[in-house]
């Protein structure tokens, strides 16, 4: 039995409830986006889930996994879809290319562009495109074009678009995407930079892309020719402590072999943050300023207490030669927030802990509560002199620059 056979009043009630909450939370700021999210039946595009799960406001619906349980495709959480549609600034009559099919987002886009517009949705997986085609046809969106193709390859027969929206986690920006944009066109993409993913709204400016907004998000990673896996460094060669590097391992990872044999250094920064305070700029600040920036994970089944992170699955970390350090937190005395601290291990851990702690204090003084860095995408091979940046991240097809102030 599909959701189309259940009580439509209950589905409408749940749909309006989740939209009401997203409006109250500020996740929906556009009346056009609010209208389409109230109109299009989300549950009809997520038949794998119960009504309650389909309309959970901050949860995705997984639609495909591999033999190992790795997520391959999903219907994004409502707040993520609302956020990206707001970033996209879709208008009637626009031509839109969606990369990463599921059906629901293409239906939203079709409503937003109207009869005068055009929506093409593509995916590398024929199972996904077949599903999207079926669901779109069943629910009145037959005018959406669905294509099975690796979107990182040339898309010469599809024309140009006012908007390219990517709904899979991307590590690189291939020329096939930027080459499909009209002058002044917009690219909205969940872009991974040094292990941190942001939904970035880019506009085309001359020969490069420049960010207008960037928000924390998480997405199923891209497949195909632009797929990119993080590299995992197992500290001391055991799976207990893993350091994940997005752009290559340290020059000599073996230097860390004896780090866990040294006493753990603990240093508290005096930087306190309240509950619910956004710290996305802290993440970006450390990614920009620390050369050996990475993410630490701990296997809870093997945890021997060598490290004591506040989040075993995601801790901001860094490596410097034979030392590594990570951020942790403890509750403030008034229990209204947390204080950031640094744990470090290695032969010169005390010195490295101070370096990392000073970067946290610099963030609190200079970046806290401020805007995110400007993110620019330049073609690979662009000379350094032409890229204003506090850090440049080299990819295969592009050079991603991060700068705290406009050029």
Catalytic amino acids?
76
Q: What is the DSSP string of 352-377?
A: HHHHHHHHHHHHHHHTTTSPPPEEEE
Token pair for 313: 């699955």
Helix/strand/coil for 100: coil
Cα dist. 296→215, 242, 299, 353 in Å? 22, 6, 10, 15
Tokens of 237: 């060669």
Distance of CA 200 to the CA centre of its chain: 9
CB atoms inside a 10 Å sphere around CB 26: 10
Residue burial 379-402, b: 16+ Cβ < 10 Å; e: rest: eeebeeeebebebbbebebbbbbb
The answer to whether 267 and 330 are in contact (CB under 8 A) is no
């Amino acid at each position: 039995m599909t959701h189309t056979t259940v009580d439509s009043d209950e589905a409408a009630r749940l749909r309006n409830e989740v939209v009401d909450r997203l409006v109250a939370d500020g996740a929906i700021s556009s009346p056009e986006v609010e209208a389409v999210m109230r109109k299009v039946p989300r549950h009809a595009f997520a038949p794998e889930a119960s009504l309650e799960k389909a309309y959970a406001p901050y949860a995705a619906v997984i639609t495909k996994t591999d033999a190992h349980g790795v997520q391959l495709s999903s219907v994004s959480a409502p707040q993520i879809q609302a956020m990206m549609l707001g970033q996209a600034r879709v208008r009637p009559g626009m031509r839109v290319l969606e990369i990463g099919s599921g059906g629901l987002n293409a239906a939203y886009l079709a409503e937003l562009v109207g009869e005068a517009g055009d929506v093409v949705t593509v995916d590398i997986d024929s199972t996904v495109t077949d599903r999207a085609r079926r669901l779109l046809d069943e629910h009145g969106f037959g005018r959406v074009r669905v294509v099975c193709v690796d979107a990182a390859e040339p898309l010469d027969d599809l024309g140009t678009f006012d908007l390219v929206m990517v709904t899979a986690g991307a590590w690189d920006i291939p020329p096939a995407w930027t080459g499909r944009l009209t002058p002044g066109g917009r690219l909205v993409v969940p872009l991974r930079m040094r292990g941190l993913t942001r939904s970035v709204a880019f506009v085309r400016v001359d020969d490069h892309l420049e960010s207008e907004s960037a928000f924390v998000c998480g997405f199923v990673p891209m497949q195909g020719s632009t797929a990119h896996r993080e590299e995992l460094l197992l500290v001391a060669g055991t799976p207990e402590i893993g350091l994940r590097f997005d752009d290559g391992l340290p020059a000599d990872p073996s230097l860390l072999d004896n780090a866990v044999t040294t006493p753990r250094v603990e240093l508290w920064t005096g930087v306190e943050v309240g509950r619910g305070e956004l710290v996305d700029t802290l993440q970006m600040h450390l990614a920009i300023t620390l050369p050996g920036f990475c993410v630490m994970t701990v296997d809870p089944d093997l945890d021997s207490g060598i490290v004591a992170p506040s989040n075993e699955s995601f801790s901001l970390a860094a490596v410097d030669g034979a030392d590594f350090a990570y951020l942790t937190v403890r509750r403030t005395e008034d229990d209204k927030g947390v204080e950031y601290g640094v744990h470090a291990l290695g032969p010169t851990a005390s010195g490295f802990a101070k370096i990392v702690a000073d970067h946290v204090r610099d963030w609190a003084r200079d970046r806290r509560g401020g805007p995110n860095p400007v993110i620019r995408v330049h073609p690979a091979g662009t000379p350094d002199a032409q890229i204003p940046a506090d850090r440049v991240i080299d990819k295969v097809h592009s050079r991603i620059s991060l700068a705290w102030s406009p050029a």
